[in-house]
Amino acid sequence: MHNDYTYKDRKMMKWMPFNALLEQGDYINGLLRGRQHKEMPTLSIDQQEELNYKLETAFIFQSEIIVTYFDAQDFKQAQGLITKTDMMNKIIFINDTAVYAQKITNIEIL
């Protein structure tokens, strides 16, 4: 018996069914990124006044604070002392971190 079978590679054709899975993966990743997209909460006047009071108190008494702020569609925190303020641009420096006052969502005095 003589076997004349020779394998013929189908090259990229054999991977075509998986192309749909890759496109679906891109779609799912897009959905997950959209789900992780966060919005900055809108603070009431009372909440803004409370944050302002805490900032003034921490600055006057040189108290260590933890500031939660919104940056790049996510919440971040900075901990330390208020080392400098830029009233013109409304920026507060906590150690070496610059935080825009309008982006602050919570302040905890330690």
Domains of the chain, by residue range, sit at 45-109
The answer to whether residue 50 scores a pLDDT higher than 70 is yes
Q: What is the pTM of this model?
A: 0.63
Instruction: Name the least confident of 21-25, 54-58, 79-83.
Output: 21-25
Q: Which whole number is the average pLDDT over 61-78? A: 91
The answer to whether residue 94 scores a pLDDT higher than 80 is yes
- Return the pLDDT at 103: 93
CA angle at residue 100 from 97 to 105, to 5 degrees?
Answer: 100
Q: Which residues contact 75 (CB under 8 A, 6 or more apart)?
A: 38, 68, 69, 105
CB 68 within 8 A of CB 104: yes
User: Is domain 45-109 in CATH 2.30.30.100, yes or no?
Assistant: yes
The answer to whether residue 84 scores a pLDDT higher than 60 is yes
Residues of the chain with pLDDT > 70, as a percent, come to 68
